[in-house]
Amino acid sequence: MRTLRRISQTLFLLIFIFLFVETEYSGTGQIPYPVKFFLDVDPLISISQVFASHGIPPGLPKGLAWSLVLVFMTCLLGRFFCGWVCPLGTLNHIIGKIKWKSYSITKTRAYSSWQKGKYCILIGLLVASLFTLQLVGFVDPLSFLIRSLTISINPVFNYMTNSLFLFFYKADMGFITSISEIIYTFLKDILLSFNQPYFKQGFFIGLIFLVILTLNTVRSRFFCRFICPLGALLGFLSRYSVFSLDRGEDCNSCGKCLSHCQGAASPGGDGHWKKSECLFCWNCESLCPLDVIHFRFQWPFKSQKKKIDLTRRHIVVSALGGLVAVPLIKLDLMPKNPNPKRIRPPGALSEEEFLKRCVKCGECMKVCLTNGLHPSLMEAGIEGIWSPLLIPKLGYCEYSCTLCGQVCPTGAIKELTEEEKKKTKIGLAFINKSRCLPYAFQTSCIVCEEHCPTSPKAIWFEEKEIVVRDGSVERFKLPHVDPELCIGCGICENKCPIFDTPAIFITSIGESRSKKARILL
Amino acid sequence: MREGFTRRHFIKVLFALGIGTSISPNLPSLLNSVSEAGETGERPDIAVAHGSSPGRITEAAVIALGGIKRFISRGDVVFVKPNISWDRVPEQAATTHPDVVGKVVEMCFQAGAKEVKVSDNTLNDPRRCFVRSGIEKAVKEAGGKAFFMDDRKFKEVDIKGEIIQSWPVYKDILEADKIINLPIAKHHSLSRLTMGMKNWIGAIGGSRNILHQKIHASIVDFAIFFKPTLTILDAVRILTRGGPQGGSLGYVKRMDTVIAGVDEVAIDSYGATLFGLAGKDLGYVRLAHKRGVGTMDFHKLAVEKLEIG
């Protein structure tokens, strides 16, 4: 069984990586693989969506129904997802296996009463979402992993690989270079991103990820045991599962199982087996020298202790925490003082609805063709940290592309048809005449107009004769923006030759998702 | 075989196919095009082919000029430069017609080319441009290689132009034995029209968006630098407004024409007539004429018009 579990973990990790890599444009306007599958099966995401919207929200992607399958299977079999499927769990598992000299294995793998922390986190998150504050994305393991990979790990991997092959390319070592180029082309085809990705906050999000991985040296599966709210939810669901550990009378409490228990669920020894902590990794059964530990189907309402080690006080305090977080975070000046840079991807719901739905998984940022979507810091308030923003200076919104809506797991970004997308305004362009070449320096330039994708073009020219420095008269084309036609895609800002502070720039005013942002009668 | 097939025609056909080439399956159509051509008896400077099939008029125009073997030798590495700038479909006339590109790649291989490379430094995302223009597929079907430009392969070279001293140019173009220019005829909001000479802006890297400040002089500097072996201007559909990107099908006019030749200035000048303009109306054509890149007076050249049924 243990071998089977290892095969399952490897397989799901590989599937996860494959789907992650395939979250990219692949030659058709549609993503061919179910790239958001792992987020679809995540019941924490679907429950928080339902809680925050006080019902099944309109346009909730059908894929989230997969999470019911996981709920059902967990009720039946327990937290097998954590031990057999979860890619973050597998990563934690691998790192936790490394034997660090300074810690005694028994200590790092024994049950700690702090493990109830994850239930408190879960209660806090769910209470907050019931009061419309969606914070699940910050700690949900799948959102966390996809976000970390997208924003930080994948760019780092690309950077290292690109630099390595650039070295061989520049060194121009004949045969060696030709071999390295073949390998490089192959890697570009199957693994690397099309362009080197860059993300704002890449450093910090990467740092958090590394900290989480490193914590495995303090306690193996640190995140899974102490933090993971999805693990807590599944643990709660597994209370009456029919699959249980059966410890024989002959157990001599040697403690061998304890030092290899992934969930610190006390399979042997003095304490009771803690079902909600058990990841069904099968280590205890395989290792028991007396062969007294077995997993069996059992009538769930029998004598075994199944209560989660949680007092009423814990529950009340964490619920209160979640409750207080709502006004604390929502009492932000954002609605009264909207940030002009809060440009959302096309198809994003109205800001209030959007924040209820977005789980900050970073799928949209991974798939964005131009690398224009970045995690926000404070542009959308605390609630909106790591939600996607378009930064046109870094990457514009490609006119005929609808990928971000296709990969959004929660429908925070609606899936648009190409025709709908082309009519969706995400902002409006403004010209800074003191920086624009023809206005400021009497120099020809039509770059913004040339790139404007709408027809008729939103940027039009006023042709004007202007007296230049030597007194002669020259004709210039002075660009103007037609606010009826501009969709705010930002290609003008992106391609403006005055690139440090572009002479044409987008702000979020006029975005079609907001009635309030309307500026034209 | 058509009526009036004379010895002279036969010699012309032989010349067109190149002595020693195996008989092409397209022979009847080739004979057809040649016999319908003017009776100049000499190799024209410019061939203008009109007809409903973009591939066939492209082939006919090249044959009229003396056949692909005049331009491509056995073992050549050929770089073909279409316009793939935008994420647009062929019907929108913002990118070179895929059949024109496919046919040229096919002909290069017929002439014994070792390798035919096709690329462009696009303005929208290259992955989308290559797919939606239909060019990637057409090139692949013809056995060539369409690839995205690789940032590492732009090499700073001396252009020695009037305003452009040095600029990054794509390495494969510098290293190719022959280069073929396959522009499309389009409206352009700054240079009025973009056709042959301006197409070279897609072969270079660097901050291309500052070239607009002196667009005509820049175009001519690059046209002198690149000197294509052959230019075929795609005017199957031309973009009459909203260029260079277009969008609305209302901007597109169907001309069913290609214009082939060696003199880019003459071709651009001829191309201008499709828009109701003359070569002298275009700053870069005037300048190129003045600087001796070619002649804008195509009337003084031998122009052969072909009607391909």
Answer yes or no: are the C-beta atoms of A425 and A512 closer than 8 Å.
Answer: yes
- Chain A residues whose C-beta is within 8 A of a chain B C-beta are 25, 27-28, 166, 169, 194, 369-370, 398-401, 437, 443-447, 449-457, 461, 477, 495-497
B133 contacts in chain A (CB < 8 Å): none
CA distances to A150, A274, A358, A372, A375 from A200, in Å? 11, 42, 18, 10, 7
Q: Decide: B27 and B63 in contact? Cβ < 8 Å.
A: no
Residue in chain A nearest B151 by alpha carbon: A195
- pLDDT (tens digit per residue) in A170-191: 988 889 999 999 999 999 989 9
What local confidence, expressed as pLDDT, does residue B281 receive? 95
Q: Considering only alpha carbons, which residue of chain B is nearest residue A396?
A: B124
Q: pLDDT digit string (tens) for B247-288?
A: 999 999 999 999 999 999 999 999 999 999 999 999 999 999
Return the pLDDT at B22: 44
SS3 A4: helix
pLDDT for residue B20: 40
Averaged pLDDT, B83-97: 96
Helices (H) and strands (E) in chain A, counts: 24, 8
Q: Which of A400, A443, A457 sits opposite B242 (nearest CB)?
A: A457
Over the range B22-44, which residues count as b (16 or more CB within 10 Å of their CB) and which as e? eeeebeebbbbbbbbbeeeeebb
Q: What is the pLDDT of residue A256?
A: 81
- B154: chain A residues, CB-CB within 8 Å: none
CB contact under 8 A, A450 and B190: yes
Structure confidence at residue A73 (pLDDT): 92
Q: What is the pLDDT of residues B157-208, one digit of tens each?
A: 999 999 999 999 999 999 999 999 999 999 999 999 999 999 999 999 999 9
In a 3-state reduction of DSSP, which class is residue A415?
Answer: coil
Ordered DSSP codes for A27-83: SSSS--S-TTHHHHT-HHHHHHHHHHHTS--TT--GGGGHHHHHHHHHHHH-SHIII
Task: Give one word for A510, left, alpha or beta, with left for phi > 0 and alpha for psi -120 to 50.
Answer: left
**What is the average per-residue pLDDT within B77-99?**
96
Q: How far is CA A415 from CA A93, A356, A396, A401, A419, in A?
A: 36, 17, 19, 11, 12
Neighbours of A301 (CB within 10 A): 8
- With CB atoms and an 8 Å threshold, state whether B127 touches A444: no
Residue A517: the pLDDT is 81
- What are A12-38's pLDDT values in tens digits? 999 999 999 999 998 888 998 999 999
Size of interface A-B (CB pairs under 8 A): 70
Chain B CA closest to residue A447:
B209
Residue B299 has pLDDT above 80, yes or no: yes
**pLDDT tens digit string along B204-240?**
999 999 999 999 999 999 999 999 999 999 999 999 9
**Strand A373-375 to strand A388-390: parallel, antiparallel, or no bridges (unpaired)?**
antiparallel
Given this model, what pLDDT does residue B21 score?
A: 45
Closest in B128, B215, B246 to A444, CB measured: B215
Q: Give the separation between CA A200 and CA A378, rounded to whole angstroms.
A: 12
Q: What is the pLDDT of residue B220?
A: 96
CA distance B26 to chain A (A): 33
Q: What is the pLDDT along chain A (521 residues), one digit of tens a residue?
A: 889 999 999 999 999 999 999 999 988 889 989 999 999 999 999 999 999 989 888 888 888 889 999 999 998 888 999 999 999 999 999 998 876 655 555 555 678 888 889 999 999 999 999 999 999 999 999 999 999 999 999 999 999 999 999 999 998 888 999 999 999 999 998 999 999 999 999 999 999 999 999 998 888 899 999 999 999 999 999 888 888 888 888 888 887 888 888 888 888 777 778 888 889 989 888 888 888 888 888 776 665 555 677 788 888 999 999 999 988 888 876 667 888 999 999 999 999 999 999 999 999 999 999 999 999 998 988 999 999 999 999 999 999 999 999 999 999 999 999 999 999 999 999 999 999 999 999 999 999 999 999 989 999 999 999 999 999 999 999 999 999 999 999 999 999 999 999 999 999 999 999 888 888 87
Candidates B153, B211, B245: best to mutate against A (most CBs of A within 10 A) is B245
Identity of the amino acid at B39 = E
Residue from the list B152, B246, B247 with its beta carbon closest to the beta carbon of A166 = B152
Q: Do B127 and A169 touch (CB under 8 A)?
A: no
Q: State the DSSP H helix or E strand holding residue B48, giving kind and residue range, or none if neither.
A: strand B46-51
Yes or no: say if B144 and B178 are a contact pair by the CB < 8 Å rule.
no
Q: Which residues contact A496 (CB under 8 A, 6 or more apart)?
A: A447, A448, A502, A503, A504, B209
Q: What is the pTM of this model?
A: 0.89
Question: Which residue of chain B has the CA closest to A456?
Answer: B242
Q: In this complex, which of B87, B152, B209 lies closest to A495 when CB atoms are compared?
A: B209
Q: What is the DSSP string of A351-371?
A: HHHHHHH-----HHHHH-TTS
Contacts of A240 (CB under 8 A, 6+ apart): A75, A300, A301, A306
Q: Band of the pLDDT at B30, cuts 50, 70, 90?
A: very low
Six-digit token pair at A401? 């592309």
Helix (H, G, I), strand (E, B) or coil at B158: strand
In which residue are the tokens 């063709």 written? A369
pLDDT of residue A60: 84
CB atoms B123 and A437 under 8 Å: no
Q: How far apart are the C-alpha atoms of A477 and A465, rounded to whole Å? A: 9
Which chain A residues contact residue B215 at CB under 8 A? 444
**A495/B152 touch (CB, cutoff 8 Å), yes or no:** no
Do A400 and B127 count as a contact with CB atoms less than 8 A apart? no
Tell whether the model's pLDDT for residue B305 goes beyond 70: yes
Residue of B nearest to A166 (CA): B152
Q: Please tell me the distance in Å from A455's CA to the nearest CA on chain B.
A: 6
What is residue A309's predicted lDDT score, i.e. its pLDDT?
Answer: 72
Handedness of CA A89, A90, A91, A96 (dihedral sign): positive
Mean pLDDT in residue range B9-34? 48
**How many CB atoms neighbour CB A270 within 10 A?**
9
Q: Which of A369, A400, A446 is nearest residue B190 as measured by Cβ atoms? A: A446
| Cβ pair B237, B170 in contact under 8 A | no
Across the interface, whether the CB atoms of B248 and A497 are under 8 A apart is answered: no
Q: For B133, name the nearest residue in chain A, comparing CA atoms only.
A: A27
Q: Per the CB < 8 Å rule, is A444 touching B125?
A: no
Taking the C-alpha atoms of residue A211 and residue A221, their distance in angstroms, rounded to an integer, is 12
